[in-house]
Structure 1
């Protein structure tokens, strides 16, 4: 029978906090763990390194991996911007664990990623943590769905309280400040993933009729900027206010659906609207013929979307534990509390041991395709 444990501790002495978190989580196991994931937030990168090493010293033969972050989740709460360590552990009978360490090498005028393990027929999911400052996370994740035969990847971009210089990755006793790490998980113990993008569509669905890379030039045969202006004018006062804080665009994942509603889109940020070009710049390459719909996001919408996704998942699965990767723009920034996402997961799925971190970009599948997201909560769920 699977068993899970988690703990989150804080304190000025980060190594001591790491020891307490690891021991508290492992005590819940009633035996050895197979997999341990941990996350460290701290002001001093050297202390973060020592804290990570201490966790790895205490986990015995368990496959152990983790990373630094600006905030961590565990023990039913979240902590941002201060010294904290979260540890999650699992005993997973019959599950196969295959760790990997990714690096980049120069091949001609391009970077190639090396070190990825070929998935076995039993693999059900992979966990991935990256250093986003120097590892090509977006490009790599974009290719993994095809390269890994549709295997879902869940995880996040590591970070630190001092940015690039403070990123640390931990795997199997080693510490790295570059590349990426992860593990392939095989067997029936993996239930699946929940990805909540937290947006609500506004206005009609429209077809891209002219595009260039990540520029949308025409929507439904009309100048894209003019389409946007018309949409904003027709919004309610409430939605217009939300749009003024940041408008997003959703790319339909099923072009053959009769209708595209909330949850049917891959959400991307609308980063620029150029009246001169009549173009909209988004954070994704687009093609003529794709269906898109504008989106807004606020705390209420994000809360409702996460609750709906979790409720649907929980109706079909009995969850024993989970790993949660939430955007560092959620937490206190969006909800005025760091605990929102983890409390929702625990409450709706009826599960205790849930841990993770506030990521600089979240990794998770939408409509069977792996993507890097922003402002998203991504959950990897394990069977009870």
Structure 2
């Protein structure tokens, strides 16, 4: 049996106190007795109800419990453990979630980088590793939290995939309150309002990702013909002898074959899945990156998609609703549990503000389902303005998604 000194230890506490002092005091009082030495990593998520008090968070936390590494951000809601057994999702109300972890032998490297200083995408991998300051030979895993108005986040993810192809990267975009549009990013003793903060974890730690995009496919997969960046001008239609047809014509024909309920759903919850593996013969739901259908051109029959599309790629139309979202997460959690029967040490949840109670008409849906499958694992996280997680071997920024980052000992 592993000695106590070598055992990874995770814990989370949540406070819903309306006073920031009281909230910090409550999470520290809950967690501190469980650690005889300071934890190696703290992840803090604070609801945007506290926006005016963001500058006070780190000093208050430092005063109560000097932690060596603190990384975190603001969220439209936060996720944390209301008790040792159950996580809750607190939306649109004051809340503070603090996750702390003791990580024996793990190198913990926090960083903040400005979105303005990103290397050029044509730069070699060494330029990116110098920019992040983490040696790829240490096999790092990344937790990333970014400013929602940062235009460079997709470039950053592309650069990190290039420089650290084996690394799992999870996280989300901080979300803002509806009034002053200000988000908060926290890194050690400093509050940032732009760029990205993150932490690289190297050594005896495994970070695994579950990415639940919450959609189901309708109709066949089509091969993309002509494109202009994110505009699809023609599709190869397998149902019409592989004729190249305008996408809008293909879509209208497909919608006629749907049930009444799905036709209704297609009016406002229709998405495009872009297959990530060009060589896989039989495509299943996890093979698609889900993107928004931005619009159609009735004159040409072209459709615009929320990502660049290349000729030869395959797409499939998808629908999203609460039932589909629930079934999709259920599928991925069940799949994970079958492959990893032992409980992880801790987990993080990055969920879109478009999910939660607004989608399911029921509180704590995603976190409850997670704990039904994996047990009372310490779970912390927040509701994001965009979620970061892998599909296939590539890291993407998602919407309407729940991403779980699951940590365990090797």
**Both proteins in one fold, TM over 0.5:** yes
Question: Of residues 271, 275, 283 in structure 2, which corresponds to 1:248?
Answer: 271
Cα shift at 1:301: 1.1
Q: Is the 8 A contact 1:26 1:33 kept in 2?
A: no
What is aligned with 2:241?
none
Mapping 1:17-166, distance limit 5 Å? 17-75=23-81, 76-105=87-116, 115-162=131-178, 165-166=181-182
- Going by fraction, where is strand more abundant, 1 or 2? 1
Q: Tell me the alpha carbon deviations over residues 180-223 of structure 1, each in whole angstroms, 9 at most, x when there is no partner.
A: 10011112322411111111000000000111100011110110
CA distance in 2 between partners of 1:190 and 1:120 (Å): 15
Provide, for residues 10-67 of structure 1, a one-character-per-residue CA deviation record: whole Å limited to 9, x for no partner: 1221232122123323334454211110111143522133134323444424311111
- CA distance in structure 2 between the partners assigned to 1:107 and 1:183 by the alignment: 17
| Number of the residue aligned with 1:266 | 289
CA RMSD of aligned residues (A): 2.2
Correspondence for 2:232 among 179, 203, 216: 216
Structure 2 unmatched ranges of 5 or more: 1-6, 82-86, 237-243
CA contact (8 A) 2:141 2:207 kept: no
Instruction: Give the TM-score, by structure 2 length.
Output: 0.88
Q: Which residue of 2 aligns with 1:350?
A: 375
CA distance in 1, matches of 2:334, 2:346: 16
Per-residue CA shift, 1:259-294, capped at 9, x if unaligned? Answer: 112222011111112212311111100100000100
- Number of the residue aligned with 2:3: none
Decide which of 15, 21, 25 is 1:9's aligned counterpart: 15
**Partner residue, 1:382:** 407
For residues 133-168 of structure 1, the C-alpha deviation after alignment (integer angstroms, 9 at most, x for no partner) is 135212322332113234221000002223664211
Asked if the contact 2:115–2:153 (Cα under 8 Å) also holds between the matched residues in 1, the reply is no
Q: CA 1:374–1:56 in 2, change beyond 3 Å: closer, same or farther?
A: farther
Asked if the contact 2:350/2:403 (under 8 Å) is kept, the reply is: yes
Question: Unaligned stretches of 5+ in structure 1?
Answer: none
Specify the SS of the correspondent of 2:330: helix
CA shift for structure 1 position 346 = 1.6
Q: Could you tell me which of 386, 390, 403 is aligned with 1:365?
A: 390
Larger radius of gyration: 2
Q: Is the 8 A contact 2:145 2:171 kept in 1?
A: yes
Is 1:298 aligned to residue 321 of structure 2? Answer: yes
Shift of 1:82: 1.2
Find the residue that maps to 1:346 and give its secondary structure: helix
- Give the C-alpha shift of residue 115 in structure 1: 4.2
Rounded Cα–Cα distance in structure 1 between residues aligned with 2:30 and 2:19: 17
| Pairs aligned (count) | 383
Matched residues in 2 for 1:128 and 1:255: separation? 28
Q: CA contact under 8 A between 1:41 and 1:48: conserved in structure 2?
A: no
- How many Å separate the matches in 1 of 2:371 and 2:68? 25
CA contact (8 A) 2:58 2:188 kept: no
More deviation in 200-209 or 88-97?
Answer: 88-97
Match of 2:259 among 236, 242, 250: 236
CA distance 1:203–1:119, shift in 2 (3 Å) = farther
Whole-angstrom CA distance in 2 between matches of 1:228 and 1:248: 11
CA distance in 2, matches of 1:106, 1:160: 23
Match for residue 199 of structure 1 among 212, 215, 219: 215
Per the TM alignment, residue 98 of structure 1 is displaced from its structure 2 partner at its CA by 1.2
